[in-house]
Amino acid sequence: MTLGLGAWTTVAAQKVNDLPGGPAVNQLNFAPPVTRIAEEQHWLHWFMMALCAIIFVIVFGVMFYSILKHRKSVGHKSQVLAEPIWVELGWTIVPLLIVIGMALPATKVLVAQKDTTNSDLTIKATGMQWKWGYDYIKGEGEGIGFLSTLDNNHRVMSNSGNPEPTDNYLLKVDNPLVVPVGKKVRIITTANDVIHAWMVPAFGVKQDAIPGFVRDTWFRAEKTGDFYGQCAELCGKEHAYMPIHVKVVSAEEYTAWVSEKQKALAAAADDPSKVWVLADLVKRGESVYAANCVACHQATGKGAGPIKPLDGSALVVDADKGKIINVLLNGQNNGAMPAWKQLSDTELAAVMTYTKNNWSNQTQQIVQPAEVQAARQ
């Protein structure tokens, strides 16, 4: 009995729970709304459902009643009925009024969704295979920019094929998007490779991010907390690994976050003319590789499936550094290896130096940021 209770407790402890701001266990309804737009979408959903249900019951009720009560087996005979004008007008005008009654509130919400004027904060969200880049381009925090990538521990769990029960499975990121509560936030979406989509259900927001185009949407969160979404366009083999995490904080907390972030960015600002020593650049490259490359090329550098290995690669150990610089700046194989122009000259130099001097690639070669800067021009 005790053994059975202990086993049951262990199983219960491993169950996945609802994630506040994210998906719930056995969820059937929309995510709880935290914006006015999302609330209106919920109301529209139930209004349309109720209206369609009423129409369904009336139409099929009359149809089945007619079939049962006027069938031949009970003595009814078919006959030609006159079609008075009021019948013709009725089945034309009534559906028209129903459509207008559905269109008016829907149009109101759709127009409000696209009204991005008078925003307090403007953030550009750039989709890329497979992460999000955020740039604060207007309002408090202007100039801040960073990449938001799936936490590597969750990728390891996924690769294991038997992940532990985790409430935020494949939704945890290294750098969440931080915004203040009660402020109108305009999101400008674009992409640098294929079509992505920025979607946060609790905000009632879903906007495609299309290469070469700019689209926009907005939200005003009325509650603080953590809210989650995902890329909603099938963008390639890592589509499931593009989570969105938005942290809504108070105005005071947001100001403190902006100050801390700006100090960190200033401290991390790299001078591309700086000449690095091998050990320091390899150390810097290790963190860049872990954040951007390990998903495909693996921590061992062996690659997986169609992904080519870096360990022992002729391209990596080649003395002509221009070749690998060109690949990282421009990509290759029709995007199978994406371009990494969004990384700084120092980050690119560091990750190239790291791959040239890790695993069996002990080349003692170093790529300086100035070399990447020259190739970029």
Of 276, 275, 299, the closest CA to residue 286 belongs to 299
Mind listing the pLDDT tens digit for each residue in 160-173?
Answer: 888 888 999 999 99
pLDDT of 136 over the 90 cut: yes
39-52 average pLDDT score = 94
pTM score above 0.85: no
Collapsing DSSP states into helix, strand and coil, what is residue 177? strand
* Total count of residues recorded for the chain: 377
* pLDDT value at residue 11: 41
The count of other CB atoms within 10 Å of the CB of residue 266 is 9
* pLDDT value at residue 14: 65
* pLDDT value at residue 202: 97
Give me the DSSP letters along 12-51: HHTS----TTS--TT--SPPPP-SHHHHHHHHHHHHHHHH
Mind listing the pLDDT tens digit for each residue in 235-284?
Answer: 998 899 999 999 999 999 999 999 999 988 877 777 888 899 999 899 99
- If you ran DSSP here, which 8-state letter would residue 174 be given? S
Instruction: Report yes or no: 175 and 150 within 8 Å, Cβ to Cβ.
Output: no
* pLDDT value at residue 53: 96
- 194-230 in b/e form (b: 16+ CB < 10 A) is bebbbbbbbbbbebbbbeeeebbbbbbbeebebbbbb
Instruction: Report yes or no: 202 and 34 within 8 Å, Cβ to Cβ.
Output: yes
Collapsing DSSP states into helix, strand and coil, what is residue 137? strand
Mind listing the pLDDT tens digit for each residue in 335-365?
Answer: 778 888 888 889 999 999 999 999 999 999 9
- Rounded to 5 degrees, φ, ψ at 318 are -60, 140
CA angle 59, 60, 62 (to 5 degrees): 70
Mind listing the pLDDT tens digit for each residue in 269-322?
Answer: 778 888 999 998 999 989 889 888 887 888 898 887 778 899 888 888 876 888
88-100 average pLDDT score = 90
